[in-house]
Amino acid sequence: MTDLTAHMLELGRRARAAAQGLRDAPAAARTRALDLLAEKLKAAEAPILAANAKDVEAARANGMTEAMIDRLALSPARIAGMAEAVATIAAVADPLGVETERWTPANGLDIARVRTPIGVLGVIYESRPNVTADAAALCIRSGNAAILRCGSDCLQSSLAIAALVAEALAEAGLPADAVQLVDTPDRDAVGLMLAGLDGAIDLLIPRGGKSLVARVQADAKTAVLSHLEGLNHTYLHEAADLDVARAVAVNAKMRRVSVCGATETLLVDRAGAQRLLPAVAADLIAAGCELRGDDEARALVSEMKPADDADWTTEYLAPILSVRVVDDLDAAADHIARYGSGHTEAIITTDAGAAERFASKVDSAIVLINASTQFADGGEFGFGGEIGISTARLHARGPVGAEQLTTYKYVVRGQGQIRP
C-alpha cells in the first residue's frame, strides 16, 4: 500500500467515525458550528487572502488563463460573500430528525418516517475556493461527514478555509474530522476517492465542468449525485403573453449563459410564431445572442443562421440559442423527451390548462410555468444554497440543498405487538 493510499484510507476511517457524532448531535450544535464558521471567515480575511495570493502567484507562474484566475482569486468582497452564504445555510431549518410522515396501519403500530443523514460524502471540485466553505456548510447542516477534494490550484486557500471549519466544529462540540480537506495536490487521491475509500464514502458529488463530472460518473465505484448537462428548453405556447415571452426568453438564455439552468433551445408553436418570434428574436439579438433556427423560424427572422441536427443536442453554455417551430404542445414535449437532458424546461402561456398539461407531460427534474429557467438554483428554491442539481431519477432530483442530502429511516412505536 502506498503512503497516499494509507493516508486516504485513514481520512475515510476518520470521516466514518466522525459521521456518527455529527449525526447524533443536537441541531443547535450544527447551527452553532455554522454561525462560528461565518464569523471566523470574516475575522480571518487577512490570512485567507495571504494563502490565496500564494495560489494565484503559482497559478500565474503555471500559465493559468486570466478567466481561470478570476475564479480562483479571492477579495474582501468575495470572502464576505462566502461568510454570507454560510450564514444563510445556518439559517435554514435543520432537516435531521424531522418526521416527514406518520401513520398507523391495521396492526396498530405507530410508524414514523424520519430524516437522517446519508453518511459520508466525497465532494470533488475545481479551483474555486468558495466551494470549500459552501460544501462544508451544507454537509454540516445536513449532518453528513465530508471529505473535500479541491482543485490543486486552490489548495492553499482551501487549507486556510478548512482550518476554520475544523475550529468551528470543535468549538461547537462536534468532531473536527466531520469535514476533512484532502491536504495533498497528488492527483491519485481522486482515483482513490472514486474507488470509495474501502466503503467509507456513501455518495460522491462532483462539482465542476463536464469533463470532471463525466470522469466521476464513468469511474466511480460508489453512488454519484450529479448532472452532466442542462440542455434546457423554453417553449412559447401559442397563447403566450408577448411581454412575458420577451422578458423570460431573454433572461432564460442571456442572464448568465454559462450556468446549467440557461436555456439552450427555444421552441415556438406554429400558431403563435408570427406573433411571438420576431419580437423575441429581436430582443435576443439586441442582447448579443446568436440564433440558429429551422426553416420555418428563419422565414420569420432573417438574421437567423440555419440549425443542423447537432444544434438540438448541444449545450452551448454561450450566447447561442437554437430555435424550432413545432406543431403544438405535444410536439414540443416530444422534442424535449428526445433531445433534452431532463434538467429544466419552461412553458410560456396564458392558458392554464396547457400549462398544467405541459407540467404533467414533461418529465424533467424542474418544469417552470411562465418563469425563467435560470431559477433552477437551490438558493432560488429557498434551500439556502445547493451542492448541485441532480438529473438522476433515484434519490434527490433538482436542486440539492441540506434537506436533499438526507435520507430517512422508520421509527415504529408499539406496545408489545408480535406478528401473527
Is the Cβ of residue 23 or residue 298 nearer to its own copies in the bound state?
23
Secondary structure of residue 398 in the 3-state scheme: strand
**Site for its own copies contains 393 (CB under 8 A):** yes
State which of residues 269, 324, 397, 400 lies at the interface with its own copies (CB under 8 A): 397
Q: For its own copies, which residue of 178, 366, 387, 402 counts as binding (CB under 8 A)?
A: 366
369 counts as binding its own copies under rule CB under 8 A: yes
115-174 positions binding its own copies, by CB under 8 A: 116, 118-119
Nearer to its own copies, 115 or 149 (CB): 115
Cα–Cα dist 118/124, whole Å: 17
Provide the mask over 78-107, with x wherever binding to its own copies is found by CB under 8 A and - wherever it is not: -------------------x-----x-xxx
Which residues inside 210-239 make contact with its own copies, applying CB under 8 A? 223
Contact (Cβ atoms closer than 8 angstroms) between residue 307 and residue 322: yes
Q: Is 353 in the site for its own copies (CB under 8 A)?
A: no
Q: Does 413 bind its own copies (CB under 8 A)?
A: yes
In 11-119, where do the E strands start and end? 99-103, 110-117
Identify the residue among 28, 50, 93, 337 touching its own copies (CB under 8 A): 337
- How does strand 388-390 pair with strand 398-400? antiparallel
Whichever of 323 and 362 has its CB closer to its own copies, that residue is 362
CB of 203 to its own copies, least distance (A): 7
Grid coordinates belonging to 334? 416530444
Alpha-carbon separation of residue 366 from 209, 247, 258 (angstroms): 21, 20, 18
Interface pick for its own copies out of 127, 130, 142, 251 (rule CB under 8 A): 251
Q: Closest approach of Cβ 118 to its own copies, in Å?
A: 5
Dihedral sign from CA coordinates of 133, 204, 15, 142:
positive
Q: Does 288 bind its own copies (CB under 8 A)?
A: no
What beta strand segments (E) does 22-131 contain? 99-103, 110-117, 120-125
Per-residue DSSP letters for 107-124? T--EEEEEEEE--EEEEE
Among 5, 13, 20, 285, binds its own copies (CB under 8 A): 20
Q: Does 279 bind its own copies (CB under 8 A)?
A: no
Residue recorded with cell 429581436: 282
**Residue 71 CB-density burial (10 A; 0-12 exposed, 13-18 middle, 19+ buried):** middle
Among 205, 368, 387, 400, binds its own copies (CB under 8 A): 368
# of chain residues touching its own copies (CB under 8 A):
64
In which region does residue 25 sit, left (phi positive, over 0), alpha (psi from -120 to 50) or beta (all else)?
Answer: beta
Rg, C-alpha atoms of the chain: 24
Shortest Cβ 375–its own copies spacing (Å): 5
Site for its own copies, residues 23 to 82, rule: CB under 8 A: 23-24
Residue the block writes with cell 433551445: 265
- The tally of CA atoms less than 13 A away on the side-chain side of residue 89 is 30
Binding region for its own copies (CB under 8 A):
20, 23-24, 97, 103, 105-107, 109, 111, 116, 118-119, 202-203, 223, 241, 243-244, 247-248, 250-252, 255, 337, 355, 359-361, 363-372, 374-375, 377, 380-382, 393-395, 397-398, 407-419
